[in-house]
Amino acid sequence: MGDFSRISAAIWRRNEFQNDELDARLAGITAYSISKIMGSKYNEIHHSHSIEKILLACQTDWCFIQSSGHTYSAQNVPLARNILAKMVENDEVAAIGHLMDDKVYFGLHHQVMLLNKRLWEEHGRPIFGGTVTTEQSVRPVRRSDENVHDDYTPLWLAPASGPPIQVKPKTVGWNFISHMSGLGYSFDNFKSDFRSRKFFCYPQKKNSAAMLEALRDTSQRGEVEDARIASVAKRFRISRPSGIHIVNNEGNGDIPPPSGEAVGLAVFVASGFKSNIILHKLGFNADTEVVFYDVDQATLEFKKRLIAHWNGQNFLDTANQVIEELRSEYKTNKFTDVNIDLSYQSMIKNSFGSEAGWVDHWMKFRQLRFSFVKADILRDQQPLVNALPSAQREGRPVLWTSNIFNYGIEIIGMEFQARKNAHASLMGHLRAACGREPVFVGQTPRDYASGTWV
């Protein structure tokens, strides 16, 4: 991850949709994206209706400000991270953003911008400049002849000589540009390498209810009549997990220490091998029962076939064979681990010490009792509940959900309280089935839209 010690993150809560629930969901996905790119804690990201309040709260040289609904696809996060870290190397630029030439004056599109907080502080904390209805006195500014696209997106803005001019600016940020250019500072536009890795959900006040309904429908893929809303809905829907995590490289820091009591009932996501790491660390015996669940049938089949036919050795050969079978049967090409063998070898070394240690674990694991259930634990838990054993079992019950309650698309598709209720419901069903409190491994639901208001 790049060095973000000089950058703070914030969300400009303009609520252009004039719909509080929609604004909150879009702010949530933006905060989620920021946390993925910058490593920021979601509840420490500043939220405000005011750019000036954001800049006052910012304690770093630069402030990365995004409006609700600005986001990045998962595959673009690493590159966007590197590009962002390099942007702030030039401290003599007052801002980097979507520069706009509104044919009257210049401004910054509100969707995303990097503002030089140090320069803003050193030069009198000028107001940013919002919507105005009267003429304003501004400094003349030069713009590049070239554009990023069309004729209103200059590559840069620079100071120009001459007396102040009277205009009625149309784009936010006009006063910041006027003030800082008058002091000799320039402005840069985002380059194509950054632009191509992000996405903004453009607001439509008149259709905010339709937009909200379309985003709620992330799992159904229903038809959306409005073309712009359909485009936004499609962008978020394709982010829904639909591939198989062969190894799954999430961390293991959420696994609690062993208690000396073996696991009795394990209810696990089917993807990857973290289920094995949990059992290995907490302990299991011949009476341990495992229920695997997943929203994707091919993922369940991959796990089922590994357990049935694989002896724990030569993983890549077996994995490739099963992958080819599933490609044919399920017409899927989505296998999410880029380097399966490297991830697998790393998992063995870090969690089992050696291949011999892993094979010993795997052969004992294969002897357990298994169930495989297709279930969406956010929207319909009943298939999973029906698969839980009717009789209470000896040993600790364990539930692992990975990041399901906080997966990016679900932050859009379900409001925080609904995700929180789904988590509580699932824990309650397992508690009732086992007669005791289950051990929970994974992420509890997070309210990404909360943040720190300033």
Give domain limits for the chain.
Answer: 7-200, 205-237, 263-453
Q: Which is more confidently placed, 228 or 406?
A: 406
CA distances to 11, 78, 149, 157, 171 from 128, rounded to whole Å, are: 15, 31, 25, 16, 11
DSSP state of 49: S
**Residue range 284-318, pLDDT digits in tens:** 999 999 999 998 888 899 999 999 999 999 888 88
The domain made up of 263-453 has a fold known as: Rossmann fold (3.40.50)
pLDDT at 405 over 50: yes
Q: How far is CA 377 from CA 298, 381, 386, 424, in A?
A: 17, 5, 12, 11
Please report the pLDDT score of residue 238 as a whole number: 46
**pLDDT of res. 336:** 52
Sign of the CA dihedral with 246 first, then 247, 249, and 253 last: positive
pLDDT on residue 19: 85
Percent of the chain with pLDDT over 90: 58
Average pLDDT over the chain, rounded to an integer = 87
Residue 242 scores a pLDDT above 90 = no
**4 pLDDT exceeds 90?**
no
Q: What is the pLDDT of residue 29?
A: 86
Q: Measured between alpha carbons, how far is 381 from 97 in angstroms, rounded to an integer?
A: 44
Give the tens place of pLDDT for each residue, 174-183.
Answer: 999 999 999 9
Looking at residue 125, what is its pLDDT?
97
pLDDT in tens, 327-346: 878 766 555 545 677 788 88
Q: Which CA distances in Å does 66 have to 22, 45, 97, 110, 232? A: 16, 11, 10, 7, 17
pLDDT band, residue 78 (cuts 50/70/90): confident
- Asked which of 106-120, 130-144, 409-423 is least confident by mean pLDDT, the reply is 409-423
pTM for this structure? 0.83
